[in-house]
Amino acid sequence: MEQTHFDLVIIGGGPAGYGAALYGASAGLDIALVEKDKVGGTCLHRGCIPAKELLETAAIVRTVAHAGDFGVKVQPLGLEWSTTLERKQSVIDKLAGGVTGLLKNRKVTILDGTATLGPDRTVSVVGGPDGSESATLTADAVVLAPGSVPRVIPGFEPGGPVVTSDEFFHIPGVPERAVVIGGGAIGCEFASTLADLGASVTILEALPKILPGCDDDVTRVVLQTFKKKGIDVRTGVAVTGHSPGAGGGTSVSFGEGETLETDLVVVSVGRAPYTEGLLAEGTGVKITDRGFIDVDQLYRTGEPSVWAIGDVIATPQLAHVGFAEAICVVTDILGETPVPVDNSRVPWAIYCQPEVAFAGLSETAAKEAGYDVVTSKHRFGGNSRAVILGQPDGLVKVIAEKRPDGSAGQILGVHMVGPWVTEQLSGGYLAVNWEATVDEVAAFIQPHPSLTELFGESVLALTGRSLHG
Ligand code: NAI
């Protein structure tokens, strides 16, 4: 490689890193991106995308299973797992090709190797297709975006029947029985997928509730629907170990001496920042006690002109937050006016069935923050489109600040659970982040019949008058 100096060198090619590369290149920066595995990172290769692809397989299974309700007769239902995995891989490959193509079109130099940051924004790269190449780059600015890895629990290291999200997408078939440790976003998505595909699933969650951060009304709907699917949700239980038996299965010990025989154990207890080998001696980049790279509000590290973004810093571990942080940092590099992400108002989308989506404060969080609130809750059972779809379970809940006269003022949170809510959040997200009031948002029209009408109805009802709600 002839060129060794760039405006910007980015370490890590996941959403945060490739987002910085695409946005920076579109603004005219000359950029090198170093990736030791595959461009696209966790999200594309072993996270969001394959998880949603398998959830879509689960949705097809549900649709076919209920086809008879619509008078559509289908053959007996069967799952050809090899085709399922092939389709998942083809989706990943297509999207990976798309990202790489975009980077190349914008003249981003992609280096295949492992990068280490040294003093004075020097980045040494070791790798290449056969591991024998090395290069030393310098840059005016460096962005660290090395991502995260699944956390493991001692005694539940991956191997045999125990998997993390890294291995889950390659399991040889749908197990008869599965234990999912951790009831966060990943755990709920995997539990939902496995149950819809026919497995008998138990979630073991250490905290008193699953999906921490969600509004209680939302969690209640998830629990009811999970129960209908046959998912056994056990909360407030700690796992203590497991003993593999003959035949590939294992016996998981948890709680007060309870055990559960299972064919698959999915460990989904969070993700840890990944900084192994990232930093040489002599940089001002600091790592916190929890292993995250320490940054200020604008994602600047302790080393001049070195930023860190994505899962490696202590902000919500979401691909779209990585994109937003990337935009903020590039804006800072360009000497413009960077606007950091307001982490308390980012959009959350969890794709289990029922889907969950929210932005802003839950009712409990709003009260804890000292707000006097009014809420409005409307169920999909009364929404025409949801009834047509045959998916009436779920609700939309809007949390607004209560004015001194008792009327509803600023919208503080929008929380949804039910059919396609991950595609319906944008109106609520805008309302929360625009700091809009109930009266302002109630004036907007939603198409009829549509699922988004329920958000419109929920806001309208907070004005004290309503149509259907
Ligand atoms: P998480 O932190 O959201 O949830 C992990 C859960 O495991 C917590 O409820 C925790 O109490 C529980 N737990 C921890 N140790 C345990 C133990 N020993 N036994 C039983 N339960 C235990 O982490 P998750 O679900 O692994 O996701 C990782 C990150 O990726 C999160 O930040 C998540 O938000 C993000 N993510 C987001 C998705 C989405 O928004 N659709 C999808 C997948 C991941």
Task: Judge if the beta carbon of residue 122 lies within 6 A of ligand 1.
Answer: no
pTM of the model: 0.96
Distance from C-alpha of 396 to C-alpha of 462, rounded to nearest angstrom: 13
Domain 5-149+273-343 annotated CATH 3.40.50.300? no
Q: Are 326 and 20 in contact (CB under 8 A)?
A: yes
pLDDT value at residue 1: 64
Q: Which distant-in-sequence residues (6+ apart) come within 8 Å of 289 by Cβ?
A: none
Mean pLDDT taken over the chain: 97
pLDDT value at residue 278: 98
Q: Are 114 and 126 in contact (CB under 8 A)?
A: yes
Separation of CA 120 and ligand 1 centre (Å) = 37
What band does 369 get if pLDDT is binned at 50, 70 and 90? very high
The CATH 3.50.50.60 portion of the chain extends over 5-149+273-343, 152-269
Nearest protein Cα to ligand 1, atom 44 = 186
Distance from C-alpha of 454 to C-alpha of 450, rounded to nearest angstrom: 8
Q: Cα 223 to chain center, whole Å?
A: 20
Please report, rounded to a whole number, the percentage of residues in the chain having pLDDT higher than 70: 100
Residue-wise pLDDT tens digits, 124-183 = 999 976 778 899 999 999 999 999 999 999 999 999 999 999 999 999 999 999 999 999
Answer yes or no: 45 catalytic: no
The CATH 3.30.390.30 portion of the chain extends over 354-461
Task: Judge if the beta carbon of residue 202 lies within 6 A of ligand 1.
Answer: no
Catalytic residue among 5, 170, 448, 468: 448
User: Which listed CATH number (3.90.650.10, 3.50.50.60, 3.90.1310.10, 3.20.20.70) goes with 152-269?
Assistant: 3.50.50.60
Task: Give the ligand 1 atom nearest the CA of 350.
Answer: 41
What band does 75 get if pLDDT is binned at 50, 70 and 90? confident
Task: Judge if the beta carbon of residue 218 lies within 6 A of ligand 1.
Answer: no
Q: Which of the listed residues 54, 205, 253 should we mutate to test ligand 1's pocket, taking the one with most ligand atoms within 8 A of CB?
A: 205
Is residue 48 predicted with pLDDT exceeding 80? yes
pLDDT value at residue 76: 87
Domain 354-461 annotated CATH 3.40.190.10? no
What band does 101 get if pLDDT is binned at 50, 70 and 90? very high
